[in-house]
Amino acid sequence: MKHLITTADFSNEEILKLFDDAKMFLDLKSNNLLQGKIIVTLFFENSTRTRSSFEIAAKRLGAEVVNLEVQTSSTKKGETVEDTIANLDAMKPDAIIIRHSDCGLPASLVKFIKCPILNAGDGRNAHPTQALLDLYTIMDHYNYDVDGKNVAIVGDIVNSRVASSNLELLPRFGINPILVSPKIFNVVSEYKSVKNIKKVIDDIDIILSLRVQHERHNFSRTQEELEKSTKKYAKKYCITKDIIQNRDLIVLHPGPVNRNIDISDEVLLDSRSKVLEQVTNGVAIRMACLKKLILNQ
């Protein structure tokens, strides 16, 4: 039984095959590949894109989706997540998609269930389908000629599961990460790291901008302090026209974008912004992941 807990679960060869399928699904037309299958989604953390993207992907493949409303489920009555999952698994679904704030939770659930489990984000640990759709968007733009390209990963890197999954995945395809963040958001890694994007901008082919993950910060601040630090942060890390000018590069963001803090309005409207294309690609990538894990092909 194969699961998708981190990007390391799929080999490069499997990923290229997955991308072939995603390309086929990109018109987002409905088919009946997963007709008669039932997919359960369990989102213990907020989600707009990932949850609807998985749901649309499943429905486009003809599967039925059961969304467990976590707020009204038995975890609120003291049941452990492990027991909730084991009970759901006993109803014999064909796949379970889970998002949870605990790092490592999806991996620890594997031993309780008999169907594929897809990690839709676990704390700051991993968000494999997001990194796969990011890589697909980059590959598609550069016609698969990505070896030696440089990606600037900008923002709250230490708290971002999108950053950590991309840091695992992109270098496997020859894409070099350059980390751009203030010291408090940086991680210790083998990659080049700078505080100011202007220092490296001439070498950059891809900018991956990230949202500041306030929900994962454990320092308390007044509203006034927060506004002040956000303003200071945006001044240096917001991706603006002044930073990208007319350079030949693309701008990605997993969403939700905090406008004029992560990326300026102007850059979001620029044809180099891939933000909405990522969302479309995300459905196709998730269709390919569901097909792979449920049909084992």
Query: Which residues are tagged catalytic?
Result: 49-50, 77, 99, 127
Binding mask 203-222 for ligand NCD (x = CB under 6 A): --------x-----------
Peptide bond into 171 cis (omega under 30): no
The reply on whether position 161 binds ligand NCD by CB under 6 A is yes
- If you search the block for the tokens 């971002």, which residue do you land on? 160
The reply on whether position 293 binds ligand NCD by CB under 6 A is no
Question: Rounded distance, CA 266 to CA 223, Å?
Answer: 27
User: Site size for ligand NCD, by CB under 6 A?
Assistant: 10
Region 76-135 residues binding ligand NCD, contact defined as CB under 6 A:
121, 127, 130
Instruction: Select the residue whose beta carbon is closest to ligand NCD and give its number.
Output: 211
- Minimum CB distance to ligand NCD, residue 97 (Å): 12
- With CA atoms as reference, report the closest residue to 296 among 28, 34, 47: 34
- If you search the block for the tokens 């699961």, which residue do you land on? 3
Strands 150-154 and 95-100: unpaired
Could you say which of 17, 23, 49, 216 contacts ligand NCD (CB under 6 A)?
49
- Minimum CB distance to ligand NCD, residue 286 (Å): 11
Binding mask 176-205 for ligand NCD (x = CB under 6 A): ------------------------------
SS3 track for 237-273: HCECHHHHCCCCCEEECCCCCCECCCECHHHHHCCCE
